[in-house]
Structure 1
């Protein structure tokens, strides 16, 4: 107790010193004397620490938009935060201004877990530039077409799991997405959820909650990283060590296997073999760049497809309309292909609405503005953490009427071309936008098309024959994840069973 008390006193002293210093710097660096963006009134010393919502902050910030507008400023324990609630402001700042391309310091996830070796967490530095260069060409539209056959094969195998174990659809969605990413990234084939490569990818889900700069106390007080692991209150150090081992295994094991297979002359062609055989980068950069695709891609794809199954469960009329389009355009003697995509406009509307309805990253990933900036009469201090609130953009009544309602029809018909495609914001802005957007989008299209062509999805029934309406509940993390829910998944006809089994 004695040691903890003294540590607390020292940390409080450091905090007060930092606050005084930052106050002096703020006066010095704002020569225009412009106001900060509006926001809740801060408390002495701690600022807005008690105002920052713990659960689903994106929803709270969207409500605050009615009071404070498109930009909200908060200061928690000396760290400035800017919440951007509109697409227009997000574009003006994060799309067009390079000073918003940095990441805030996240000692826990970065230095301690080791994810500063990835472009996802790294600052706007040389490592980030090298990794973006590595992933640029393989993730562009022309290159994505080379993955079409594998995407169709994996999606087809997923349909087989729906025939055999429809109640396990959620776990098999995770298997499908992991299987696809591992195959394309490393050329490794997996068939079971118990495969070590699938388990490794699943283990990284525990890291997502630490993507927020305020998620760990050590991010607020970086000096805490030097506390010994045995010290009272240092549980975070043991957790960081555990997660670092998880990250190293997830990235290292498949990469080392590919290297060994290359040396033995038995490697299956993959993104990693392609990069290793070219002089584009050194091995360490390739390992962590491909590992980021492996770790982040599988989780996002599975989460969005689970949301799609939920939407079809709750909206049978939408499902029926999409199936009628598929039957009319393609018939019932084959499954859809990528070449059919332009002929299935309503399916495209469903995909857009899935993106918008529950954005995969509702608050976006945090940025850091590296210089003092001025916008619309407000001062944005250098060092502020900046969030683009995707939830607020997806609920903008000026663009999406009745935003909480699932309605693909908003993207079709007269005037639909004026409706903003959600892909323009949910995958990020500017230099920090998701490099795998085209790959993810193609995977979602073919998976949704296959599911709708092959199966009817409806509400499950309880022991008394009553329909069970699943609740729309998602976990309160930086990444949207729908909780597991019951539903009925049945093949549309004996003919489609033969088609899937063939």
Structure 2
């Protein structure tokens, strides 16, 4: 009777020894680490590498490349391809097991399945295949400029422009992956996708806050992620099946999903595995590229003199009577350098600077 009305003390009887064991194992591992040192390749000295990047950074990068960093395509192939089972696999990812069942690329174990997953995306997103998407990108860019120019409201303007950028990238990714455009962020598919991705980004903080009342029951940690996984599965299957339907009707435009469905048996993926593999571009590409554009806007605000040079070059090469195209790229060296510098800013934005 005492156990029925007061289960918490009995749970603590198990929890206290378990906690002691965890801390003991951690102490032993730290002691072993201090004795033997880290089992990782050599790297640049210290932990605050940002201080080396304040001046003369290109010489710093050159020196690191020669001594520490893998800087050649041949070396990358040797490590990631020829020794892939050693260097390309993924460690155990407990939350990934519940959320994705290791069906997403970043949580998959290295092997034939992972190589086939990569083959799917190389079919349309590799450097060799991507030029075929240039006309679509030019059209979407024109729509983006139109949306930005027409949105002149002052209240909440930053939030609205952020959504415009996300709609632009969502439409680009969805066309490449599924052969359909996104005309509004109110598209039910986009809203549901964003809800899923925002949840994943807030794990584990939000996950713990939502689940703490279930702590008295051992399987508490799997309930919410598994519910989210069911939502993901339904969403990813729905968009893939929509492509299947259009293929049967003969109305589907070429896209990654059509390519993969036509080779599904050869790839060795069942419907569930394929639906998750095909979700990668929209799961990984929308926020990444829209953030890159926002960083470019931030750079323009901080360096107006660089923006003035970009404008001068654009006016001289393209003029003001048409949109720039990929055909202009070779004639716009300063703009090309500006874009590449923006891409470098993305990585540096995650480094601590004192």
Q: Same fold (TM over 0.5)?
A: yes
Q: Is the contact between residue 4 and residue 232 of structure 1 (CA under 8 Å) also seen in structure 2?
A: no
Structure 2 SS opposite 1:120: helix
For residues 153 and 140 of structure 1, the distance between their equivalents in structure 2, rounded to whole angstroms, comes to 20
The correspondence for 2:139, drawn from 134, 138, 153, is: 153
Query: Counterparts of 1:98-497 in structure 2 under 5 Å?
Result: 98=83, 99-108=86-95, 110-114=96-100, 116-166=102-152, 167=157, 168-203=160-195, 204-210=197-203, 231=216, 236-278=221-263, 280-281=266-267, 282-284=269-271, 285-359=273-347, 362=350, 391=351
Aligned partners of 1:303 and 1:360 also within 8 Å? no
Distance 1:92 1:7 in 2: 51
Which consecutive residues of structure 2, in runs of 5 or more, have no partner in the other structure? 1-7, 41-45, 53-63
Work out the number of aligned pairs and report it: 309
CA gap of 1:172–1:104, structure 2 versus 1, over 3 A, is same
Output one character per residue of 1:267-316: Cα deviation in whole Å (capped at 9) or x when no partner: 23221112212354234343222111121111111111111122222322
**2:300–2:307 CA contact under 8 A, matched in 1:** yes
Measure, in 2, the Cα distance between the counterparts of 1:312 and 1:139.
29
Identify which of structures 1 and 2 has the higher relative contact order when contacts are C-alpha pairs closer than 8 Å and 6+ apart: 1
Give the alignment's TM-score, normalised by structure 2: 0.74
Q: Distance in 2 between matches of 1:37 and 1:361?
A: 28
Contact 1:250 1:291 in 2 (8 A): no
The answer on whether the counterparts of 1:304 and 1:360 sit within 8 Å (CA) in structure 2 is no
Aligned CA distance change for structure 1 residues 7 and 114 (closer, same or farther; 3 Å):
farther
- TM-score norm. by structure 1 comes to 0.54
User: Kindly tell me: are residues 198 and 5 of structure 1, through their superposed partners in 2, closer, same or farther at Cα, counting changes over 3 Å?
Assistant: same
Deviation at 1:103, TM superposition (A): 1.9
Alpha-carbon distance, 1:113 to partner: 0.7
CA drift at 1:319: 1.3
Post-superposition offset of 1:147: 0.6
1: CA distance, partners of 2:233 / 2:337: 40
Instruction: Indicate the structure with greater helix content.
Output: 2
Contact 1:178/1:201 (8 A) holds in 2: no
Which whole-Å deviations, capped at 9, do the CAs of 1:120-139 have from their partners, x for residues lacking one?
11122333222112222322
CA distance in 2, matches of 1:277, 1:360: 41
**8 Å CA contact 1:174, 1:298 repeated in 2:** yes
> CA 1:360/1:185 → structure 2, altered by over 3 Å: closer, same or farther?
farther
- Say whether 1:12 aligns with 2:14: no
Query: When you count strand as a share of all residues, which structure comes out higher?
Result: 1
On the 8 A contact 2:124/2:176 being kept in 1, the answer is no
Q: Deviations over 1:397-420 (max 9, x none)?
A: xxxxxxx9xxxxxxxxxxxxxxxx
- The CA deviation at 1:102 is 2.2
For residues 126-177 of structure 1, the C-alpha deviation after alignment (integer angstroms, 9 at most, x for no partner) is 3322211222232222311111111111111111111211432111001110
